[in-house]
Each structure stands twice: as structure tokens, then as C-alpha cells.
Amino acid sequence: MNGIFIILTSLKDSIKYINLSTEEAGASVPETHQYEVKNLRQRSVPLSVTIQFPVELSGVRVWDASEVVPSKPQLAQCVSEAGTPGSKDFVKRMSERPLLDFSVATCKKIRCRITSLEMHQPLEFMIKGNISFQWVSQTQQQKVSLVNEARIEYEEKKYTQKEGFVQCQVQTLVERSEVLTTCPSSWAAA
């Protein structure tokens, strides 16, 4: 077996926090998540990067991202695969763990095949779209982490990796805040 050393990381440009008021429940904001895969050994390696991200929760759009864009399209061919269907008991699941991921939401899955990842020639993958907030009230949570995940796969019969990172997540914390529209009665008396 040939030893390889591949790392997968999220890039710091990925948005990590969104605060919205209850008045903004119908709004949406642009969101970008980025990953980078690097080969730290001399040997070039064929591999795949699979990225999953939530697109819908109980029929309500979460993120309208539809593709993963590689920084060097000539090196990576990305195609959609069957995603996850989501969970019907997401309210219960999210009360235990307020994560909007592939175990709860309907997710899109995109696999990017890389014919040969050369040493010190990192390849980036970007997911870009608008996150809408109509789904937030369905969760019955004030704070929810929107999670997407990337993982690398390689031919395990031919290669072995003892160090490196083969899986990575980007989480964006979406926090809902209440907006006071009237003065409390104690203020009116003052």
C-alpha cells in the first residue's frame, strides 16, 4: 500500500454567525462556505470530495445553493448524487441537538472527482447561495447551527492514510432574536 497524507479544511471566509430578528423571518442572506483539500506527499493521488448541505426542512427552503464550484474546474468534475430525505420528527431531534444537518434536513449531495491531486497544489471548493429564514420558526429553537459537511474518499485498497483530516464541517450559527414593538407597561408608568 502507498502512504498518502491528504488534509481537508474549511476556509476562514466561510460565514460563521447570522443574527436575525423575528421581523426578518421571510428574508434571506447570501452565504458562502469553502473547503480546501491539500496533498502533503510527493505522490499524486486520485480522490473524491463529497459535500452535503441542507436545502430544505419539511418543505421549506433553507439554502438555495445548487452546486459546488472548484477553484480549478479542469482538475475536478462535480456531479449531484442522491441526497438525504430529511426527518419527519425534526422538532424532537432538534430539541435534543439544535443542528440542521443531513440527519434532520433534506440535503443535497455533490461528489467532486479529482483525477490527480498533486503535492502543494491545493484545490478549493465553494458552496454559494442564499439562506432563507422561514424554516427557523419551524425548529422551535432560538439558536440553530446550520451544518454542511465535506469528506474525502480514496481507493483504500491502494492507499493508506495514517494522518490528515478526511472529514470537515462548516457550521453557521443562526440566532433568532425577538424585537420589542411596544413598551413594557412598567416603562409607560415612569
Residue 51 has pLDDT above 70, yes or no: yes
Residue 95 has pLDDT above 90, yes or no: no
Residue 186 has pLDDT above 60, yes or no: no
Cβ-Cβ contacts under 8 Å for 53 (sequence gap 6 or more): 33, 63, 65, 107, 108, 127, 148, 149
**Which among 65, 106, 62 has a CA at the least distance from the CA of 86?**
106
Residue the block writes with cell 469528506: 151
- Mean pLDDT confidence for 111-118: 94
Q: Where are the domains of the chain?
A: 2-189
CB of 32 closer than 8 Å to CB of 187: no
CB of 51 closer than 8 Å to CB of 153: no
Q: Class of the 2-189 domain?
A: mainly beta
Residue 42 has pLDDT above 90, yes or no: no
Residue the block writes with cell 440553530: 144
- For residue 1, the model assigns a pLDDT of 76
Q: How many CA atoms, within 13 angstroms, populate the side-chain half-sphere of residue 150?
A: 25
Question: Residue 138: in which H helix or E strand, if any?
Answer: helix 136-139
Give the model's confidence band at 148: pLDDT under 50 very low, under 70 low, under 90 confident, else very high: very high
Question: What is the pLDDT of the chain when averaged over all its residues?
Answer: 84
**Percent of the chain predicted with pLDDT > 90:** 35
- For residue 182, the model assigns a pLDDT of 54
Give the model's confidence band at 160: pLDDT under 50 very low, under 70 low, under 90 confident, else very high: confident
- Per DSSP, the three-state class of 14 is coil
pTM of the model as a whole: 0.84
Give the model's confidence band at 19: pLDDT under 50 very low, under 70 low, under 90 confident, else very high: confident
